[in-house]
Amino acid sequence: MRRKGRSQGAVDSIWTEWHSHPEVLIGLGLLQGGYLLGVGPIRERYGLADGSDPRQTATFTLGLLIIFFALLSPLHRISNDFLFSAHMLQHVLLTLIAPPLLILGTPDWLLRRILRPDPLFIAARIATHPVAAFLLFNAVFSVWHLPALYNLSVTFRAAHVLEHVLFMGTAVLMWWPIVSTMPELPRLSYPLQMLYLFLISIAQIIIFAPITFATGPLYEWYANAPRIVGLDAVTDQQIGAIIMKIGGGVLLISLIIAAFFRWYSREEERTRRELAEAGYEPDG
């Protein structure tokens, strides 16, 4: 049965409707406050570093602002109640954009202090291993897109909160081998980064191909949703899968290309240095 429709005025108001979910505001506030304490008073008290990098602080804060937008802006209401495609855009922000910014924005000396207890560091080393991180993220992401569990997540708020927490947590692990700032939990070498990113893109195809090519709606919640734009449920579903695949694909391909050129530049510099040490000077 289709869910009850809304008046045009009520529908129009959705596009400017911001939310104030207390748990989201509290969680983001605690993260930002804890970060600022870490790079400020705690750093100074324990002599963790001579200073903090404002660019890292800005990067971390940007990651939190993206989560804020994804979960509290009109996008959240539209993705929850009306459009599968909006939900996929939300997932792009929560899993592909915000997590690497949070990692890049966290100084290694602060991470080292947080992971100081040996059991916590050992757990982090296991969880951020490329194989474990890859499997954890893709398993969680795939399972939550099964129709039964997906419909559960949009029907019950607690399930939806759990879904997003798991998405973001495993996404941080998945991104760690690419953007880590901590030598003890290092990034992959450039060739392995390219392979890792390629495998992530393949995993996304496996997840979203069935959604893209489905001939009918897979998610009852969106099939019964009021139509606030001129899209039927199947078209909305296909656009959602394309947003996730193309959005992720463009980002992953860009990173593969960047990793290749960094690898090439490093190898070229090493070759030049070895030739100079051997006393060889190129012509010209």
Evaluate whether residue 115 is within a structural domain.
Answer: yes
Evaluate whether residue 6 is within a structural domain.
Answer: no
284/281 Cα distance (integer angstroms): 9
Total domain count, the chain: 1
Domain containing 260: what range? 14-277
Evaluate whether residue 1 is within a structural domain.
Answer: no
Evaluate whether residue 3 is within a structural domain.
Answer: no
Evaluate whether residue 71 is within a structural domain.
Answer: yes
Evaluate whether residue 69 is within a structural domain.
Answer: yes
Helices (H), 224-277: 233-277
pLDDT tens for each residue of 151-198: 899 888 899 999 999 999 999 999 999 999 999 999 999 999 999 999
Evaluate whether residue 20 is within a structural domain.
Answer: yes
Question: Encoding tokens for residue 246?
Answer: 């193309």
Evaluate whether residue 282 is within a structural domain.
Answer: no
Strands (E), the chain: none
pLDDT tens for each residue of 189-218: 999 999 999 999 999 888 888 888 888 999
pTM to 2 decimals? 0.89
Residues 6+ positions from 25 with CB-CB distance below 8 Å: 72
* HSE, side-chain direction, 13 A CA sphere, residue 51: 3
